[in-house]
Amino acid sequence: MAQNQDIKYTLNCPWTVRFMVKQRKQEGGKAYGYQDFVDSFLPIGTESTDLDTIMKTINLVPSFEKRLRGIITVFRDGIQPAYEDNKNKGGKIVRFSFSTDIESTREAVKAFEEAKEGADADTKNRKIAPVLEKCDDFVHFFIIFGLCGGFDSEHGKLNGFYIKTEFNVICLDAWFSTVEAGDENRNKIQQMLEQVDPHCKISIQGPTPSEKRISDTIQTIDMKEKNVRGKSQFTDKNKGGKGNYDRNDRKDDRSERGDRGDRDRSQRSERDGQRDNSSFKKYNK
């Protein structure tokens, strides 16, 4: 009997893998302008509809487990990994994070436990990310699931993944074409991460001892025309302008897990400074 040939999975559209290499130096701590920002993402190979080719291309750069810093993106061909791209405007990002190093996580927990309440403690709490072993397989699963249409629906599509490694913490952003698609998949991702929670959590001591699980790290960001790039998950300041998050919306971060799991970070209104509590508001083009 003849041996079966390798089965190839052809995707319904081409995708491009990019790795960020800063082409110009940022001046005065300001965030990159749009063109400088997109120019810093260099394609690895060419766009492809072959899933195996895309995954091999991703593996050409250091693995997520070994990488110390860096950004890799996988986006539909023709879509830039930037808020300003017309196909991203009006969409939503769903983000979650985890650590690749137990010692770094323990140091972050200790810093939080020693901090007083307030902005400093809030910042240190956001630095805490539960440790996930063998994270390469986990990240690859999310990428394959997304590229094969697992996040696509009648409400919108997955535009791409933006995966950043910084200070031994990986932030995985899934970018969706509409707010409705982001809201729908926020719940789906929550359910998926809850399956990993027993294996990815860290204990936190303090006035109210608790555990931080990977599903507790979920954040959402609405992509609007006046978003400011450069917001770091690890500081309470922007690299280049007004923040996209309302600090008051983070004050419940140490509440019960159910509340933390269901809370989305709201954006501050550009006009009157009021918080937008309509996380599931329909987007009107």
**By C-alpha distance, which of 33, 241, 41 is closest to 161?**
41
Query: So what's the pLDDT on residue 44?
Result: 93
Residue 243 binned pLDDT confidence (cut-offs 50, 70, 90) = very low
- What is the mean pLDDT of the segment spanning 122-150? 88
**Contact criterion met (CB below 8 Å) for 236 and 119:** yes
- What is the mean pLDDT of the segment spanning 227-252? 39
- What is the mean pLDDT of the segment spanning 5-13? 83
Query: So what's the pLDDT on residue 210?
Result: 74
pLDDT tens profile 146-182: 999 999 999 999 999 999 998 788 999 999 999 999 9
**Contact criterion met (CB below 8 Å) for 109 and 128:** yes
Residue 20 to residue 37: CA distance in whole angstroms: 9
pLDDT tens profile 91-117: 999 999 999 888 878 888 888 877 766
Residue 253 binned pLDDT confidence (cut-offs 50, 70, 90) = very low
Topology (CATH level 3) of domain 10-262: RNA Cap, Translation Initiation Factor Eif4e (3.30.760)
Domain regions of the chain by residue span: 10-262
